[in-house]
Structure 1
Amino acid sequence: MFFYSPLEQFTIISLIPMHIGNFYFSFTNSSLFMCLSTGLFMCLCVLVTARGGSLVPTPWQSLIEMIYEFVVSLVSEQVGEKGKQYFPMLFTLFTFLLCSNLIGMIPYSFTTTSHFVVTFGLSVSVFIAVTIIGFQIHGLHFFSFLLPPGAPLILSPFLVVIELVSYVFRAISLGVRLFANMMAGHTLVKILSGFAWSMLSLSGVLKLAASIPFAVVFALMFLEVGVACLQAYVFTILTCIYLNDAIHLH
């Protein structure tokens, strides 16, 4: 009897190995599904807008318009008028995470956001971009963000250190939140489905009882779809909040 680890679904597999001198590059299953996540949504947008759309929107056109309006309202509410110029970045970020999370729900696919290196790379990129924007707008005055207004002067050294650590940890917490939720949910589904499948191989009452974990797995699949959408929303709205802090120094 073979026992498979529920963590095997997160294994990185090299599809096209490449060597350039002493450096090793490889097109992996993670790379493939990142390209699919981006390419499928781009193809959908092109197909919907190829003829300028229709007055009576099709279901696919309605979906694209709904996502577009959702991100527009998110940027307007969280960042304001000055955040509109950053809408393309936020829209791309949201759609990439949403597609990556949802594609990962398909059996035998791969969830790119279940790897910390991917989510950490995104979060660090967002952190660096937001910091650069803050310095571009405010210059050295951006450092005033580290000292809350009205704080006692005697406490300023401690407050600056605390605020600085809190600010830097944004780069880590943003990625960890997404990675942990996606990995934990997929692992739980894999464990329960494996348990239910093992019970089916038995006989008698235990075989009938296998319907219980199967029902739980079925319910968890719907829950995981909700978590996939929610995590894309949380990552994007936190990016909007950080961008608002950099622009308005709140």
Structure 2
Amino acid sequence: MKIGDLYFSFTNPSLFMLLSLTLFLLLVHLVTKKGGGHLVPNAWQSLVELLYDFVLNLVNEQIGGLSGNVKQKFFPIILVTFLFLLFCNLQGMIPYSFIVTSHFLITLGLSFSLFISITIVGFQRNGLHFLSFLLPAGVPLPLAPFLVLLELISYCFRALSLGICLFANMMAGHSLVKILSGFAWTMLCMNDLLYFIGDLGPFFIVLAFTGLELGVAILQAYVFTILICNYLNDAINLHQIVLSYVCFIF
């Protein structure tokens, strides 16, 4: 659809992001219909309560120096981010589906939008004193310009590393599963008994990697969320807790 000089298109990422959001809202509807949950929770309500408590505990543990009421202001965006990534990653495991988080522009757009929001929160909470993170205490004056530049580059690269972390892990895992699946299917279609027996090895390897990729899909949503919580904690409390290396470990 073209409006003036702007061109709008409904692509596969748009469709599957909308699908992930629909599945999440449907899950919430199953729990909250008819006035709310049950005293004895069913399976769906237990799942939603588990996810809610998990993210709430994560926020309370990772963001310090604030009262519980203030932390609640940041809880909704962190919960929505975690559930959105979780549903996008899990629906990407369905055969013939489309994994949204394997596209760099999407993960980069998500990480930069959250990073800009965290920076705004830092200025709102600390004013211009927020810039003090650029110059560690006790630094000799001649080294100050160089350290300010290095700290600024390091701070800006947090958003880039956050997007690359999610994109690279999801893209690499799905590419590997696709290659092995194609190899196993080619051997299966050879119409030869020897190839059919030999196909059992790649077939079980594909099953093993599929289980591993399922774990990575859940883990990446967690890693992305915990890094956001730590960056938010740094912006609020002006602590230099470097956890960027965590995403490269996973």
Per-residue CA distance 1:4-52 (angstroms, 9 max, x = gap): xxxxxxxxxxxxxx11123221111210110111111112112201131
Where do 1:178-193 residues align within 5 Å?
178-193=166-181
Q: Which amino acid aligns with 1:29?
A: N
Per the alignment, residue 14 of structure 1 pairs with none
Structure 2, unaligned stretches of length 5 or more?
Answer: 240-250
How many angstroms apart in 2 are the aligned matches of 1:39 and 1:160? 45
Per-residue CA distance 1:213-240 (angstroms, 9 max, x = gap): 1101111111111000000001100000
Select which of 145, 151, 160 maps to 2:139: 151
How many angstroms apart in 2 are the aligned matches of 1:76 and 1:177? 24
Select which of 195, 205, 217 maps to 2:183: 195
* Cα RMSD after superposing both structures: 1.1
Per-residue CA distance 1:98-153 (angstroms, 9 max, x = gap): 00000000001111111011100000001100110111111111100111223333
Per the alignment, residue 243 of structure 2 pairs with none
- State which drifts further: 194-203 or 128-137: 194-203
How many angstroms apart in 1 are the aligned matches of 2:168 and 2:57? 28
Select which of 199, 219, 226 maps to 2:215: 226
1:42 maps to 2:30: no
- Secondary structure of 1:169's counterpart equals helix
Per the alignment, residue 245 of structure 2 pairs with none
TM-score by length of 2: 0.90
Structure 1 residue 199 displacement after superposition: 1.0
**Contact 2:20/2:91 (8 A) holds in 1:** yes
Structure 1 residue 158 displacement after superposition: 1.7
- Secondary structure of 2:8's counterpart equals strand
1:249 maps to 2:238: yes
Per-residue CA distance 1:155-196 (angstroms, 9 max, x = gap): 222211111100000111000000011111110000000001
How many angstroms apart in 2 are the aligned matches of 1:196 and 1:123? 36
TM-score by length of 1: 0.90
Per the alignment, residue 13 of structure 1 pairs with none
Where do 1:104-119 residues align within 5 Å?
104-119=92-107
Structure 1, unaligned stretches of length 5 or more?
Answer: 1-17
**Contact 1:146/1:164 (8 A) holds in 2:** yes
Structure 1 residue 249 displacement after superposition: 0.5
Select which of 91, 96, 102 maps to 1:103: 91
Q: Which amino acid aligns with 1:77?
A: E
Select which of 191, 204, 215 maps to 1:215: 204
- Secondary structure of 2:10's counterpart equals strand
Select which of 216, 221, 224 maps to 1:235: 224
Q: Which amino acid aligns with 1:100?
A: C
1:25 maps to 2:8: yes
**Contact 2:85/2:221 (8 A) holds in 1:** yes
Select which of 122, 125, 147 maps to 2:110: 122
How many angstroms apart in 2 are the aligned matches of 1:63 and 1:204? 45
**Contact 2:30/2:44 (8 A) holds in 1:** no
**Contact 1:102/1:225 (8 A) holds in 2:** yes
**Contact 1:199/1:206 (8 A) holds in 2:** yes
Per the alignment, residue 90 of structure 1 pairs with 78
Per the alignment, residue 247 of structure 2 pairs with none
